[in-house]
Amino acid sequence: MSAVTREAVEACLRQFTDPHLDQDPVSAGCLREVDIQGARVTVRLELGYAAGLFKNGWAQMLQMALENLDGVDSAQVKVDCVIDSHQGQAQVPALAGVKNVIAVASGKGGVGKSTTAANLALALAREGARVGILDADIYGPSQGIMFGIAEGTRPQVKDQKWFVPLEAHGVQVMSMAFLTDDNTPMVWRGPMVSGALLQLITQTAWNDLDYLVVDMPPGTGDIQLTLAQKVPVAGSVIVTTPQDLALLDARKGVEMFRKVHIPVLGVVENMAVHICSNCGHAEHLFGEGGGEKLAAQYGVELLASLPLSMAIRMQADDGKPTTIADPESQIAMIYQDLARKVGARIALAGKPAMPSIEISED
């Protein structure tokens, strides 16, 4: 029986691709330790994104592969998730209590941006991350409803300076709607909204968040630009439908983020296809392949494609979005995959990998 070497272990690991990083764990810099004690091998990997529902299966797959190596009697693979801070634009100060800010935006309203933001936040939390969501859609705040927070609920004030975010489904939630009457429209000019929103972001006592998801207002006006220039955004997600008009506005959203040097992590396509509940017929009501074309045009990834589903709408209206209302459903699995991909894209754009440690029996 030949002795096991580090080179053989790495070669084995390189045969498997992390579906969220699109790289093998060695090339992605995830390998932290290789311990070879005779015929026993222990490997420790470190993922830079939240992957609580993925890491155990990933570890088992790699363990089985290592145990098939010549000279290996037993193998153990440990996978940890360590989320570092990847702040955004230069000259923008970090946000207290927040490691990474994710902006969810759209060029126009009505494309499912807020629903995507809510499910993304909940999916990240299910993966084991500490998550908050900020409802920055001043003119049409909806996150309070989606998270089942009763109308009229107000945040506590700490030290006469900080708003304490409300908590629902394990996510810290803050919205201008919590400070105003739900039935009173915000008749404010752009600069007033921008100022109030920045105050809300910076004066909320976020509690040790790995990710803060910001549900941006639709469009590309001064509110969006102010947020993009004043908040340290690690990456943005563009939400669209396959419809030509929505894609036209989504392109403007991509261009806006690029102009302010914020990475576009990818595109989410909503309402991609409708499946008839009676006969199962599939119909592309808003066009076909639009999100994929947009992603290809700008060299970004199509992160997810979601159907036009009554369940998504009903569950959000009931205050329990799909990710927690029906966590084992196919749609919920799409949101979980979206969350892991978003976290992985932020990790890839962040800090260089740490060196790995090798321990061998001499």
Annotated binding site: 107-114
Asked if residues 194 and 231 have their Cβ atoms less than 8 Å apart, the reply is: no
Q: Which residues belong to the annotated binding site for ATP? A: 107-114
Three-state SS sequence of the chain: CCCCCHHHHHHHHCCCCECCCCECCCCCCCEEEEEEECCEEEEEEEECCCCCCCHHHHHHHHHHHHHCCCCCCEEEEEEEECCCCCCCCCCCCCCCCEEEEEEEECCCCCCCHHHHHHHHHHHHHHCCCCEEEEECCCCCCCHHHHCCCCCCCCCEEECCCEEECEEECCEEEEEHHHHCCCCCCCCCCHHHHHHHHHHHHHCECCCCEEEEEEECCCCCCHHHHHHHHHCCEEEEEEEECCCHHHHHHHHHHHHHHHHCCCCEEEEEECCCCEECCCCCCEECCCCCCHHHHHHHHHCCCEEEECCCCHHHHHHHHCCCCHHHHCCCCHHHHHHHHHHHHHHHHHHHCCCCCCCCEEEECC
Q: Is 24 exposed, middle or buried (0-12, 13-18, 19+ CB in 10 A)?
A: middle
Angle at CA 318, nearest 5°, toward 313 and 319?
105
Residue type at position 106: S
